[in-house]
Structure 1
Amino acid sequence: MPPPTTLAQLTDFAAHAYEGLDALADGEVRWNFGQLSDAVHAAARAVIAHGVEPGDRVALWASNSREWLTAALGALAAGAVLVPLNTRYKAAEAADIIRRSGARTLLTERGFLGIDYVAMLHGSGEDLGALTSVVVLRGDATGTALSWDDCLARGREVSEARRSARAAAVRPDDLADILYTSGTTGRPKGVMSTHRQVLAGIEEWSKAVTLRPGDRYLLLNPFFHTFGYKAGFVACLLRGVAMFPEAVYDVDRVLRRIADERISVLLAPPTVFHGLVRHPRLADHDLGALRLAGTGAAVVPVALVDEIRERLGIPGVFTAYGLTECMGVVAVCPVDADAWSVSHTVGLPLPGTEIRVVGPGGPSAGALPPGTAGEIAVRGPQVMLGYLDDPQATARILDGDGWLCTGDIGVLDERGYLSITDRLKDMYVVGGFNAYPAEVENVLRGHELITEAAVVGAPDERLGEVGVAYLVTENGQRPDPAELTAWTRERLANFKVPRRFHVVPELPRNASGKILKAELRRAAQEDTQEAGNGRPAAPGAARHAGERTRQEEPEGESR
């Protein structure tokens, strides 16, 4: 069977190419690729029976599970457009995306972390636009909502010929999904991607990171995120990799599951690997099957790369870079690269992908020389169609030659390896000098007591802006701010030295592990205002910054 050209063909391809191999384990349910394909066929018949037509938008608001996966693939196979929703959303946030995307059907669940999404949404009084039906994938269906089991039962009345015809009618350039960024500059934007774009990017990424048939991949990244969805289960189906979804991260459970299920692939933020290598019972678990570790979304210290290879025994370690606007995949550092390269770069562009570091004139003005910092521009088959119903925002980021300006600052070295130095919008100006937080954060992490650091700009009456640092320290120790100032001043120009330091229990992060700089900027601004009123500012600001609440992430959700 030839490789799939649409996501509607994906499970049939996997069933043929990887017949008999393990495909999925979720609770007591274990499927091979043939059984998974049958389950997706049943899901496709269910959504067809439910009245979903080609091109209809289907929103999916639920945690990682086999129901999420089969319902999503079934909807795609029926020609629908998938609209995933973040499980951390509140009713107003979810309703806004449901309304603006034009979703007619919502697939959701009840009871995840004690949350009743159905009741929360319907009790909110929010305008739900074109939404006409709600289907409960997991949990009891009440009121007008239908259960997924009832939908599957109705789907048995749909003939196999009708299901097959719907899948065959899907074309590579049809819209496959709309994933919403969490943008800091306004409302979330809907990133539109075709079947061709998804498959083109993920095919090259899965080869670059060396996924192979028979691998066993613990899916920690949430399916609503481009990485959990596309570099998660789409990649697994393309490469014959068994999927082990996790709805909630728990380090003890993850450690047990890696050992018990002989997991070979683990992709997660650095904090997950940090927790594993320091787990007090690490030696009690056989992690010998692990061969591939992928991380990113934050700075990865050289020491952590070494610990992953030495303490966890994982030979292949890679970092990667991508944005929602590029299917989450742009560049990959080779899995056998030296620890310094894995730590300090995101490697080489994927085959067929171009990366250009550009100045204020944009891509049309040409590339800057190697070693020069500038905005990262990307061109390739995985670049999005554009933002839904927002041609102006699309034109600002995507030019007529296909170059997408990412808003990230980076440097290409003589090897062609890309380093991400900062977000363009994270830069702040101290007395007329540009300050890039990543540079300051790298220095702070070199202090013996500091394990994590995040720096943001805050208003300052004299200098315009100054740096404010939020720090996670060993065992919560509180280093003397004067000592930190002196230590940092020895290593950085004076204007780059943070003016305030706050020790926090943890840094706020989004679901993919990326630090929520917008939340820290708000905390720093409140800190400044309180200090101006003569009130002690640090404790309140530290508490605010340490809360694990969902806030806006940088647009593009770069990794």
Structure 2
Amino acid sequence: MRGDLEWGTVPMLVRDAARRFGAREAVVEGRTRVTYRDLGDRVERAAAACIAHGVRAGDRVAVWAPNTLDWIVSALGAVSAGAVLVPLNTRFKGAEAAYVLARSRARLLFVTGTFLGTSYVASLRRAAQDGDGTGPLPGLPDLDEVVVLADDAPADFRTWKDFLASGDTVPAERVRERADAIDPSAPSDIIYTSGTTGRPKGAVITHAQTLRGYAVWSELAGLREGDRYLIVNPFFHTFGYKAGVIACLMRGATMVPQPVFNVDTVLANIAAERISVLPGPPTLHQSLLDHPARDAHDLSALRLVVTGAAVVPLRLVERLRAELHIGTVLTAYGLSEASGIVTMCRRGDPAEVIASTSGRAIPGSEVRVVASSGTVLPPGEPGEVLVRGFNVMGGYFEDPDATARAITPDGWLRTGDVGVLDEDGNLRITDRIKDMFIVGGFNAYPAEIEQLLGLHPDVADVAVIGVPDGRLGEVGMAYVVRRPAATLTADDLIAWARREMANYKVPRSVRFVPELPRNASGKVVKGELRGAAAT
């Protein structure tokens, strides 16, 4: 990795990748196979079209679409024109997308056509039909143009093909000049938080932070030229866009985007495309291991898995290594406000460290754990996780009050996560501060309880919440997904838990469910579970 890229810009990275990896496959989408040289040309054409449509340096450009080649080209094209990328969650409803578009004051939107039976254009039109704007959506006065990533579009919107053609009059020199004028310290994207605890807020991250962070990620993970990377993690999340697209551009790996998680499709892609890299949440890898037709597919090319969550069962790490012969299995921890990367395990760490922790602080950053008073806590003591370093956002977009609450005057980001550091600096996330509940005066951390319950051989997935109790104040309730063919009962699991953990941690009730509600980042939406528990 050349030093200037670590401190450079995303368009510089795209151009450099086209030069370094020219004829190597960059993106595979069905029968479409695009080389790095072709990808560079497509991105510059998209940048030219953005310039032709009046996009200025610093303007926000949004993309609301699943993982596709068009997402990659439109997003990188906008950023190469000097715009700030605003990825939209594909699980958003129209009103949620409209909120982020309005809050970011996006000028241009790239949107998919129909996806999973839903017309995103129609849902957005319904949510933003009323207002004083003169553009395609009156309720979004700052939005000048909507481009549908399809062959057809409503009369007041524009098709992707027509949009690209409009940039043919913009000279290549002008596109290069625009890209070269971008300062590495300028914002490259605004990642809006998942909104599970309130309205989404936009974390502003720069070009230099992005490139430095994912040069580190690529190095620690061991991503290398020629790897074939199945990107199931959604592009609107840093795990998909930055640990996926940006990392592949840095290393010359081939991107195979998958728009929807489906284990049968994952298996087919791994075999057909000789996939060697498969990051994703633990549930992805668990479903892969447990699939009844797994042995019918050739998975021998897989060599690298990176996962991350509060709960990564040791058995999962061991099975990935023993059954699929994956040489490198790593865990990591990050959040949007810290460029998506805070800690990471290292290759060679023992399975126990990988399963029970999220690794150590990445180079160029610091991690500490503090009490509610702000006092720094010693190893082994749980408290709020704070992070400081190059990866911490400059702030929330146009929200100084929220920024001041999140970042201390001396630069420490308050993550809102509860964690414990060990003597070697490995971080174990035990919960969100808001998820902790108190049982008869004892602090109970759901993620810790979930990890213990996950050791039961009949438990495939589990989430724990606190519910009111007349005697103890609060007690635990477990939502459990059984393994296939298991006959586990609530009484069985509670009795087992009493043998495995302190009494105050033992759930007092168990509900069995077919699956847990998760947001697009793979996190369990505990608000839904609390709502169900209250009924």
Unaligned runs of 5+ in 1: 527-559
* Matched residue, 1:232: 244
Q: How does 1:367-406 map to 2 (within 5 A)?
A: 367-406=376-415
Asked if residue 75 in structure 1 is aligned to residue 84 in structure 2, the reply is: no
Quick one: structure 1 residues 424 and 29, their matched pair in 2 at CA, closer, same or farther if it must change by over 3 Å?
A: same
Q: Deviations over 1:497-542 (max 9, x none)?
A: 222210000111122222112221222222xxxxxxxxxxxxxxxx
1:355–1:377 Cα contact (<8 Å) kept: yes
Query: d(CA) in 2 for partners of 1:476 and 1:461?
Result: 36
Query: d(CA) in 2 for partners of 1:139 and 1:396?
Result: 45
Asked if residue 416 in structure 1 is aligned to residue 425 in structure 2, the reply is: yes
Q: Provide the alpha-carbon RMSD of the alignment.
A: 1.6
* Matched residue, 1:326: 338
Asked if residue 17 in structure 1 is aligned to residue 20 in structure 2, the reply is: yes
* Matched residue, 2:265: 253
* Matched residue, 1:530: none
* Matched residue, 2:150: 138
Query: d(CA) in 2 for partners of 1:133 and 1:321?
Result: 37
Asked if residue 288 in structure 1 is aligned to residue 291 in structure 2, the reply is: no
Please, which of 78, 88, 92 is the counterpart of residue 89 of structure 1?
92
Q: Deviations over 1:15-61 (max 9, x none)?
A: 12223222111122212211111110111011111221111111110
Q: Deviations over 1:297-323 (max 9, x none)?
A: 351211111111121121111011100
Instruction: Tell me which moved more, 332-341 or 443-452.
Output: 443-452
* Matched residue, 2:482: 473
Query: d(CA) in 2 for partners of 1:128 and 1:487?
Result: 55
Query: d(CA) in 2 for partners of 1:393 and 1:464?
Result: 31
Query: d(CA) in 2 for partners of 1:463 and 1:393?
Result: 34
Q: Any idea what SS the aligned residue of 1:475 has?
A: coil
1:87 Cα deviation after fit: 0.8
Query: d(CA) in 2 for partners of 1:106 and 1:349?
Result: 36
Query: d(CA) in 2 for partners of 1:316 and 1:115?
Result: 38
1:375–1:424 Cα contact (<8 Å) kept: yes
* Matched residue, 1:100: 103
* Matched residue, 2:231: 219
2:64–2:90 Cα contact (<8 Å) kept: yes
Asked if residue 160 in structure 1 is aligned to residue 172 in structure 2, the reply is: yes
1:459–1:525 Cα contact (<8 Å) kept: no
Query: d(CA) in 1 for partners of 2:297 and 2:500?
Result: 41
1:109–1:139 Cα contact (<8 Å) kept: no
2:312–2:451 Cα contact (<8 Å) kept: no
Query: d(CA) in 1 for partners of 2:517 and 2:372?
Result: 31
Q: Deviations over 1:410-437 (max 9, x none)?
A: 1111222111111111101123321111
State the TM-score, normalizing by the size of structure 2: 0.94
Number of equivalenced pairs: 523
Please, which of 482, 501, 514 is the counterpart of residue 505 of structure 1?
514
1:139 Cα deviation after fit: 4.5
* Matched residue, 2:501: 492
- Give the partner amino acid of 2:484: N
* Matched residue, 2:208: 196
Unaligned runs of 5+ in 2: 131-138
Query: d(CA) in 2 for partners of 1:451 and 1:282?
Result: 17
1:287–1:313 Cα contact (<8 Å) kept: no
Quick one: structure 1 residues 185 and 248, their matched pair in 2 at CA, closer, same or farther if it must change by over 3 Å?
A: closer
Query: d(CA) in 2 for partners of 1:240 and 1:468?
Result: 47
- Give the partner amino acid of 1:370: P
Q: Deviations over 1:94-142 (max 9, x none)?
A: 1111111101111101111122111111123363241121101124112
Q: Deviations over 1:269-317 (max 9, x none)?
A: 1121112222222222222221111112351211111111121121111
1:26–1:66 Cα contact (<8 Å) kept: yes
* Matched residue, 2:69: 66
* Matched residue, 1:181: 193
Q: Any idea what SS the aligned residue of 2:278 has?
A: strand
Query: d(CA) in 2 for partners of 1:150 and 1:139?
Result: 9
Quick one: structure 1 residues 19 and 449, their matched pair in 2 at CA, closer, same or farther if it must change by over 3 Å?
A: same
Please, which of 47, 51, 64 is the counterpart of residue 48 of structure 1?
51
Please, which of 246, 254, 264 is the counterpart of residue 242 of structure 1?
254
